[in-house]
């Protein structure tokens, strides 16, 4: 079984609810990407001596460079079980919104997506 296509991810009020259509599928994995490529949802299941299941959101934005405010640069972050945050570029509130986006998606419909993830769907 696979997650339906497209998925929706809500990340705070900016960008808000984003549709992420399926862009890739493999053995035990699926990838969903927004049309503007700022939101990527990845699902992976690996099997070996241990089973590993991962749901991950990658998020990017353009914002002022803290060293040269006249320049805009691209900032990226990833949220899965651990959030990988740059030293500058994302506030605590923005990181909270991204984490809430993932946990809200996982817990939607009384945790249906958690059940699908733990069942090996991608």
Residue 36 lies in a domain: yes
In the prediction, which pLDDT does 83 show?
60
- How far CA 110 is from CA of 44, 62, 66, 104, in Å, comes to 21, 34, 41, 10
In the prediction, which pLDDT does 81 show?
66
Residue 88 lies in a domain: yes
16-20/22-26 β-pairing:
unpaired
User: Please, which residues have CB within 8 angstroms of residue 88's CB and are 6 or more apart in sequence?
Assistant: 66, 75
In the prediction, which pLDDT does 54 show?
85
What are the strands, taking DSSP E only, across 27-114?
29-33, 39-47, 51-64, 72-79, 83-84
In the prediction, which pLDDT does 84 show?
64
Residue 2 lies in a domain: no
In the prediction, which pLDDT does 1 show?
75
d(CA 33, CA 24): 9
pLDDT by residue, tens only, the chain of 122 residues: 799 999 999 998 888 999 999 999 999 999 999 999 999 999 988 888 888 788 899 999 999 999 998 999 999 999 886 466 877 788 889 888 988 998 899 888 888 998 999 899 99
Residue 1 lies in a domain: no
Residue 68 structural domain: 7-118
> How many domains does one find in the chain?
1
DSSP state, residue 5: S
User: What does the block give as tokens for 56?
Assistant: 């991950």
């Amino acid at each position: 079984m696979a997650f339906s296509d497209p998925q929706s991810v809500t990340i705070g009020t900016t960008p808000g609810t984003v549709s992420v259509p399926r862009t890739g599928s493999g053995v035990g994995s699926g990838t969903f990407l927004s049309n503007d490529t700022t939101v990527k949802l990845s699902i992976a299941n690996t099997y070996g001596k241990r089973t590993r299941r991962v749901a991950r959101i990658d998020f990017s934005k353009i914002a002022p460079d803290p060293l040269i405010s006249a320049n805009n640069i691209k900032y990226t972050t990833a949220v899965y079980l651990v959030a990988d945050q740059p030293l500058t570029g994302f506030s605590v509130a923005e990181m909270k919104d991204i984490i809430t986006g993932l946990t809200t998606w996982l817990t939607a419909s009384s945790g249906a997506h958690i059940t699908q993830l733990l069942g090996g769907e991608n």
